[in-house]
């Protein structure tokens, strides 16, 4: 059964490997992602000044478009999920704001769509046992540290995807693929987010600490659901000034890329291009 899908800007540009692997995995599991026919940027941040209704117009338009396709919409990007899910919840609780926004938009949003993350569809729609039954190339022996970051989980009272301090949803997904899910204390710490634009030294330090912690706890790789997290963790390990790398870099995978390998999909659907730390060699071992 097709699921309404919002890809977002980054998955259409810099994170195409996430989009490619996500669509391929969804199709292989019998729930193909049907891209919304007319979408725009979600705004990339949920506004702190919620009395500014205009800041919510963009994500509300996306919800309106999704509403035409049914009662559920999913996305892969943690940032998009964060913005759209919080917008949905906020408008559910603030009908006066919704009325004001609908006055500005060409089509009114009726409040009849539920925003989910793809991990949520896997957990609640398919289940980890059924996912494991689809695995044809178990990633047994691969030690992967699931990194959640901030936006996928918080604020819990609005997002509600998992425990914000001790999440398990990505752990369970990795275990269904045959991986060993490596716990490490930095798995919900911030990577520096958008500070990469104007204060790059800060996310480089934060991301470096995250990668170092995962390595110290025995991880061979890190899995994430956020294109911004993937960039920060990956970029912090780049070969700087043409100097040799240390040799202990950890590839930063999107969880869907690991799924594509485990489900036995063609390499063209793994979406492993464009990484700073080459993720290919580790996968070739499996």
pLDDT tens-digit series, residues 56-95: 999 999 999 999 999 999 999 999 999 999 999 999 999 9
Q: What is the pLDDT of residue 246?
A: 67
Q: How many CA atoms lie within 13 A of 283 on its CB side?
A: 26
Contacts of 233 (CB under 8 A, 6+ apart): 147, 191, 207, 210, 211, 222, 224, 252
Distance, in Å, from the CA atom of 286 to the CA atom of 221, rounded to the nearest integer, reads 13
Q: Give pLDDT tens digits for 106-154.
A: 899 999 999 999 999 999 999 999 999 999 999 999 999 999 999 999 9
Residue 284: predicted pLDDT: 86
User: Is residue 245 over pLDDT 70?
Assistant: no
- Rounded-to-integer distance, Cα 271 and Cα 44, Å: 23
Average pLDDT over residues 45-59: 87
Of the candidates 250, 285, 253, 247, which has an alpha carbon nearest to the alpha carbon of residue 270? 253
d(Cα 150, Cα 34) in Å, to the nearest integer? 27
Pairing, β 3-5 against β 72-75: parallel
% helix, strand, coil for the chain, step of 5:
45, 10, 45
Instruction: Between 12 and 197, name the one with better pLDDT.
Output: 12
Query: What is the value of pTM for the model shown?
Result: 0.96
Is-contact 235 160, C-beta < 8 A?
A: no
- 230-243 exposure pattern, b = at least 16 Cβ within 10 A, e = fewer: bbbbbbbbeeeeee
Predicted pLDDT of residue 33:
98
> Residue 58's pLDDT is what?
95
Give the pLDDT score at 34.
97
Topology (CATH level 3) of domain 128-284: Rossmann fold (3.40.50)
Mean pLDDT of 247-260: 95
Delimiting residues of CATH 1.20.1050.140 domain(s) in the chain: 3-118
Which stretch of 91-105, 184-198, 229-243 has the lowest confidence by average pLDDT?
229-243
Instruction: In the chain, list all ranges with CATH 3.40.50.11810.
Output: 128-284
What CATH topology corresponds to 3-118?
A: Glutathione S-transferase Yfyf (Class Pi); Chain A, domain 2 (1.20.1050)
Is 243 a residue whose pLDDT tops 60?
no
Model confidence at 216: pLDDT above 60: yes
- The answer to whether the CB of 251 falls within 8 A of the CB of 219 is no
Can you tell me the distance from the alpha carbon of 172 to that of 229, in angstroms, rounded to the nearest whole number?
20
Examine the pLDDT at 199 and tell me if it is beyond 90.
no
């Amino acid at each position: 059964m097709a699921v309404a899908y919002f890809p977002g800007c980054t998955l259409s540009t810099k994170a195409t490997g996430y989009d490619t692997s996500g669509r391929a995995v969804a199709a292989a599991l019998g729930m193909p992602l049907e891209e919304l026919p007319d979408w725009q940027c979600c705004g990339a941040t949920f506004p702190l000044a919620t009395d500014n209704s205009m800041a919510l117009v963009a994500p509300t338009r996306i919800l309106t478009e999704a509403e035409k396709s049914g009662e559920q919409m999913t996305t892969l990007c943690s940032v998009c999920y964060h913005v759209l899910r919080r917008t949905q919840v906020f408008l559910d609780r603030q009908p006066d704001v919704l009325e004001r926004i609908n006055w500005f938009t060409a089509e009114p949003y009726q409040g009849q769509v539920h925003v989910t993350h793809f991990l949520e569809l896997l957990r609640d729609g398919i289940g980890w046992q059924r996912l494991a039954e689809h695995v044809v190339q178990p990633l047994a022996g691969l030690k992967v540290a699931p990194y959640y970051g901030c936006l996928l989980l918080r604020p819990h009272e609005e997002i509600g995807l998992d425990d914000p301090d001790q999440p398990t949803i990505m752990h369970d997904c990795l275990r269904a693929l045959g991986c060993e899910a490596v716990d490490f204390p930095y798995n919900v710490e911030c990577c520096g987010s958008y500070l990469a634009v104007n204060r790059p030294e800060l996310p480089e330090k934060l991301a470096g600490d995250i990668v170092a912690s995962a390595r110290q706890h025995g991880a061979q790789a890190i899995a994430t659901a956020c294109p911004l997290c993937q960039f920060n963790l990956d970029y912090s390990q780049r070969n700087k000034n043409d100097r040799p790398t240390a040799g202990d870099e950890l590839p930063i995978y999107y969880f869907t890329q690991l799924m594509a390998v485990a489900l036995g999909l063609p390499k063209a659907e793994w979406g492993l291009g464009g990484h700073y730390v080459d993720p290919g060699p580790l996968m070739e071992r499996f």
